Structure 1
Amino acid sequence: MSDGEQDVSAATPRAPGASAEALLGTAGIARRGVGSAESQRASRAWWDADADDYLAEHRADIGDVDFVWSPEALREADARLLGDVAGRRVLEVGCGSAPCSRWLATQGARPVALDLSGAMLRHARAAGEATGVPVPLVQAGAERLPFADASFDLACSAYGAVPFVADPRRVMQEVARVLRPAGRWVFAVNHPMRWVFPDDPGPDGLTVGQSYFDRTPYLEVDDAGAATYVEHHRTIGDRVRDIVAAGLVLDDIVEPEWPEGHERVWGQWSPLRGRLFPGTAIFVTHRPGG
């Protein structure tokens, strides 16, 4: 596949005021396993339905041309987890509206922004035009990357794709395949210990509610029992094993601390919880060789 921008017009704009839950007919929560095909269908439908609301709420947090790794406001401009990006071909996996890829472009990188959601990529295209920093956009899932072997110098993901796929080991393998030797793969996800706590930024979110070792996905369903939203849990050990099984080297796990003076509440992330335990885990890896 070339770097050219792909057709991302498949998702229809939503009606004003309609929530993703209403659009998708979400009726409740279920507990069962979810395979790759159902998980991907649910994620594509969810982010197509929720893109407008998500960006209306969080555009100020993520910016239009910025690389924010986490709700703790850790920025790549400060952390430099990807190293020198100038002249490097970079794949962003699960780019959303692609502010990270646009920031990378301003640093001299050659990014390609990939996402499953056509609605998110429509926002990415519009933001590229508005900011004057367009980037190539590709619509595809992370478990099957439509790129040749060894075609990227770096790969990154800031809360994109990895928590939403049923087979994260396949994602690690695919990223390792498309990376050139010595290429870095850095990705941020919910810190696995967050799984045991309710999604509540207040005091109720400080009480353990379920087992850390329960890997049953969080699943919302419609009246027929079909998934409308899926999020998958893996332990720290699971993540490390997936990385190693893909032939990658784990260099670091960054757990951003909640910074002083940062009072923003973002979903379940808050100063109250952030000062007590980590909300984000960033895995810094590379492909051997080079």
Structure 2
Amino acid sequence: MPSASSRANRGWWDGNADDYQVEHGGFLRDSGFVWGPEGLDEADAGLLGEVGGRRVLEIGCGAAQCARWLVTRGAEVAAFDISHRQLRHSQRIDLDSGVRVPVVQADAEALPFAGGCFDVVCSAYGALPFVADPLAVFREVGRVLRPGGRFVFSVSHPVRWAFPDDPGQRGLTSDRSYFDRSPYEERDEHGELTYVEHHHTMADWVNLLAASGLTITGLLEPEWPEGHGRVWGGWSPLRGRHLPGTAIFSCANT
């Protein structure tokens, strides 16, 4: 049975997918692999290695912009998202671009794929910030990855949780404990959960990956690049000069 977090976030993303794609679609591009608001592009970073001829799974694909880029690089790709509306946008882009991505609606805590069937699993802010049990996701990743396979994912940098989600000066002063793991929640007038993100410290992420059997091979904290003026929620050039906004973990299935 889906968790309360899964149910809430499925509803939220179904209701907000249209606005999200209007606001951010140009930055993400119909076929492009952007790791986060800093604009780090996989075409430059090469964190996934050579993908041509590899079987690749994207977790929390949204409108599958990253997966579509992987298809253009010769990968055999599957992708999924919890939101049906986001996947409808993927279908729209398939028709517009002529590049088709096989997508399915699924929950990251219970992947509908056979064991050992992927060479690479990736996720750019997909699913992991929103799930109640990231260890379950990591174990599922380890199950579907072949031995020696690669897993790379990006999430909000844990240190950002100690600061207000404000792109201006207010966002430079910590107003809560980094060690407070209380999730960020939104509720409706009846008290029902409608949106949730979960906070894990850097040590939490490392220990969860270790407990899953995955091995960390790299950690990247992208710096905000010169000339990049886009504000996205709490991300901005001002904050990016002072605080890391994204953490990208590279792992191997050993």
TM-score calculated relative to the size of structure 1 = 0.86
Structure 1: 5+ residue stretches without partners: 1-34
Distance 2:52 2:16 in 1: 33
**Deviation string for 1:23-62 (max 9, x for gaps)?**
xxxxxxxxxxxx9611000010000000000010001111
Query: Number of residue pairs matched?
Result: 254
Distance 1:126 1:262 in 2: 28
Does residue 200 of structure 1 match 2:166? yes
Structure 2: 5+ residue stretches without partners: none
Q: Match for residue 52 of structure 1?
A: 18
Does residue 159 of structure 1 match 2:125? yes
Shift of residue 128, structure 1, vs aligned partner:
1.0
* Conserved 8 A contact 1:153-1:183: yes
Q: Match for residue 275 of structure 1?
A: 241
Shift of residue 224, structure 1, vs aligned partner:
1.7
Does residue 69 of structure 1 match 2:32? no
Shift of residue 212, structure 1, vs aligned partner:
0.6
Residue type matched to 1:214 in 2?
A: D
Distance 2:114 2:2 in 1: 22
Q: Match for residue 245 of structure 1?
A: 211
TM-score calculated relative to the size of structure 2 = 0.99
Q: Match for residue 191 of structure 2?
A: 225
Q: Match for residue 97 of structure 2?
A: 131
Distance 1:170 1:230 in 2: 17
* Conserved 8 A contact 1:36-1:165: no
Q: How does 1:1-290 map to 2 (within 5 A)?
A: 37-288=3-254
Distance 2:190 2:140 in 1: 33
* Conserved 8 A contact 1:36-1:166: no
- Secondary structure of 1:241's aligned partner: helix
Residue type matched to 2:88 in 1?
A: R
- Secondary structure of 2:62's aligned partner: coil
Identity of aligned residues (%): 59
- Secondary structure of 1:261's aligned partner: coil
- Secondary structure of 2:3's aligned partner: helix
Distance 1:126 1:56 in 2: 13
- Secondary structure of 1:164's aligned partner: coil
Distance 2:9 2:147 in 1: 31
